[in-house]
Structure 1
C-alpha cells in the first residue's frame, strides 16, 4: 500500500466549520470563567451549560454515552469549590502540560462517579487547554488514530503510552500543529477527529475492495477456471492479478492474439543450432502453459536441488568477458577450447586452421555445438541428445561448472502430494485468439472435473518426449493446483467468438465500471468527483436501472475507470488545472472510443454531441467537488 503524508490527508478533508467556530466561540470563555470563578453558580449560565452540563453536541467532543449521569453532575457541583482551584491551574497553563494536576482531577472526579468516566473527565480538561490536548477524548478512538496513522501515513512511529490519555493526546496535538503549522491551534482542532473518520472511510473502501476481490477468489477456487468480462477499461486484468495475489499464488501472464497458436501455448517444434555439418534441425519445446504446469508440479517436491539456471548464466558471463575457456576432459588426457556460439546463448568447440584462433581461421562445418538444454539433460543424468554423441564434452562442462561457478549436484527430490501452493495462469484478451486451435486436446484437460491425472491426454508431439523424468512423459494433464483466469470484452468486433463447449468450462463474472474503482485511489480527493462523472456518462450510454439509453448500445459499452485514470497524465502537481485535464481526457481518449461505439449507428453525430454535453454538464471546481 502506498502511504501518503499526514498533510496530504488533511488537504483531502473539508474542514468542519460549524464545529470549529463553536469551539473558537466557547473555549476562550471556558478558560476565562475557570481562571476567575470559584463557584459554578457564578459562571455564565450558557457557558457553564456548554462546558459541563451538555453531553451530546458539545463544542469540544460529543459524548452520547459515557458522560456523567445527572446524579454525578450534581455531586460534582456540590463540591465544585474543591475542583475549581485545579481547573484554574490548567486554565492558567496554556503552553505547559500539568501531568500531575490532570491525574489529581481524574482521581478527584472518580470519588463522585459510579464508574471511571474517562472520556467525560478527559473532555473537561481538554476544554481548557486547546494548545496542548486534542479533541478525541475517547481513549479507544485515540489509540485507533495512532494505529491508522502508522498504517496509512508516512508519519514516523509515535509511541502510544497505554493508560495515559493525557500524554497520548498531547502527542497528537503536537503532531498536527507541527504538520499544519497554524497561527492559532484552535484553527485545526477538528483535524484529529476528521482525519480519523477519513482514514476509517479509506479503510472501509479498502475493505469493500477486499470483499470484492474475495468474492472472485472464492469463485475461481470452486470452479478452477474464471473469465472476467466487461466493458473496456474496467480493470479486468488488474483484478485478475489482484485475485492471484489474494490467493497467495504464483502467477504468469500471456495475451492471446490472432496469430497465437498451439505451439506457443502447449508445445511445438523449434529450430536447433546447426550441427557439425551446418544443418539445422528441429526439437520439441514446451509452450508457456505446459511449462507453467510443470512449475506447479515441481512445487510439490521436497529437498530438490537444481541451481543450473543461475550457474549457466555465470558461465555465459565468464565467456563474455574472456572469449574462451580451456576445459579438461574427464579422462584428464586432453582439453578443449570452449566459446560462445554466434548468438551468445549456447556453447561451441570450434575447429581452427593451424591453431590460428582468429575469426578468419575458423573452419565452418567442423564445430561441436552444445545448447543449454543439452547440458541440462546431462546435468540431470540423461543423454544430451538421443544418440549421446559428444556427451564426454558436456560432462566436462558440467564438471567445470561444479568446480568454478558453484553448480550443485542435481537431486530430483521427493514428490509431495499435499502441497497447497497455488498457481494462477492469466490469459488476457482470451477471445482474441482462436481458442480451439490454441488449446487443442487441452480442451478436455482444463475441465474442472478432469483436473489432475484423470485428465491425462496425449499431446501432438508426445512421441518426441524421450526424457523419462519429464512429469508429462506419459501424457499431459493440468495439475490440481493450477487455476486459469481469462479476461475479455464482448464488444470487440474483430475477435473470435468462444464456442459454448468452451464457455461451459469457465465460470463467468462481469466486471462493471462502477464496481471496480479502486484503480482511481491514486487520484486522492478527486476520486469521488471522477466516479460521479464516469457514472453520469455511462448512464447516458445505457442506464441499467431504467433500461434506457442509446439504441444499439448496452452496459457492455460503458467507459471503465482505466480511461479516467489517464487524468493523471494531464494534471499538474496541485490539480489546479482539473478543468483543462478533463478537456484533454475527452479529446485524446474518450471522444475516439465513443465515436467507434457509435460508428454507423442511427444519429451517431447527435448522440456523440449528447454524450459530450453530459460529460461537461456540471462545473468542476479545482478541489474535485462537483457543483450544480
Structure 2
C-alpha cells in the first residue's frame, strides 16, 4: 500500500471535513434519491424517467420537472457545480418533452455504463446543438459513485495525471476519456484507502466512505495537484473579499503538512521556518526583498553591512541541499540525485539538515523529498515590481544552482549571505523547492505594474466570489440567513453589468463570512444591517467622484431593499 495516499486522504479530510460536510450530505442526498428512482424504473421496465408515477410528495422528487431542474440546476446540485455551462429555460423546456433524450436519460439512470454515458453526451449535443461535458458528466456522476464528483474534464485530467505521475496509484493503460479514467482512479483509491490505516498516526480518525473518497479527489486537485502544477510561482487575482490570501496560506500549510507526514517525520523543519508572508507597498524596494546595505552597530560604531532581504534569506535556507550537491558535482543534474547517491558521495553527512534525508529509501529522488518553502506576497501589484525583483526576473525562469547568478552586491557577499559560494564568489539562485504566491485585487489600478516579461513568469488564477461556499457556510452557521446569498448574487450581477464598475467590483464571500450579529436577527433585518454597515459605504466609496451616486439606489434595489 502507498502510505502517502492514506496520509494525504487523512490530512485533507481532517482539514476540510467541517467545511465540506454540507457538500458530503448534499451529495449523499441526491445520489440516494436518484437510486430510489432507479429502483422504480427497474421494477417496471416499461416506465420512462418522465412517468408521473415515479414522483410525489413522499418520494425522492415531487415531479419530473423537479427532477430535471435538480439534475441540471445551474447551481451545485449536490454533486458539483457546472462552471460556465448554463441550462437555459429554453433547454429545460425542450428537455421536458424530447422523447429521445428522455429514453437515453432513462437508460443512463438504470445503467450508468460507459456506453450509456456516451450516448447521453451525444444526444445532448444533438438536442441542444452544444457540447456541455460538465453537464453530461455531472449527470452520470449523479447516477453512480463509481465516477468522481470532479466533472470538469480539464481539472480531472490534471488531478488524474498527478496521482499517476506521483505513483499514488498503479500505472494506467486504459482509454483517455473522462469516464474510463474516473472509473480507474476511484477504484484504485478505494482499494488503497484502508480504514485500519486511517486510524494510525497523529491525526484524529477521519470518516471514510465513497462520498468522501470522491470529494477527496477534488480536494487533492484544489489543494495539492493544481496550485503549483504549471508553475511554482502563482498570482491569485480577483475582486476584494474572495479569500485570496487566506487560501494562499492554507495551500502552503497543506503542502507542508503533506511533505511532513510523507517524508519529513524525522526532520526538525517546522512550518514557521518554511513560510513567509510579506505585504508589498509603493515604497517596498529591492533592498527589502533581495539584499541591501543596512547600518549595523558594531563596537559602538555604525557600519554599513550587506543584509539579505526576506526572499533571498528564504532562498538561502531552501537551497542549502541543492547548493551542497552542486559543490560536490556541478555537472550532475540536481533532479537526478538519489538518496543512495548522496550516501555514497563525499557529502559532510553530519550536517543536521541532511540527517532525515539519509534515513529515506535509497532510490528516492532528493528533489522529491526536500521541504517546500513558501513566500506569500500580499498585494503584490502595489510595489514597483521590476525594481523590487531585480535579478529575480532571470532566476524565476532559470531555477537551480546550475543557473546561479551574481547580484548587484555580489562583491560584498560572503558565506553568511550568499545562497551559493563557488570559488569564493557569492551567487544567488532560486531552488526548485521554493514556491511564490502573489495575491492582488484587480480593482487596484496598480495592476499595470506587471509588465509582460513578469506576467509570463507566473501562472495566473482568477478567484471569483464563491456564493455556493457562502451558502454552505450560512446553512451551517444560521440557516435563516441563507437567503441573503441570493441578494448578494443579484447585487454582484448588477455590479458586473454596470459599465462604470464591472466584475472587479463584485463583493467577495469573505465580506459575509464572520457576521457578528445576533443570530435571532431576521433575514430582512440582516439585509438592512449589512447594507448600512458594509455594502452601502463601500459602494459609495467606489462611486466617489464619478458623478453617478444615483446608482446606489439601483444597487440597493438589486440587493432586495427599497
TM-score w.r.t. length of structure 2:
0.49
> Greater Rg, structure 1 or structure 2?
1
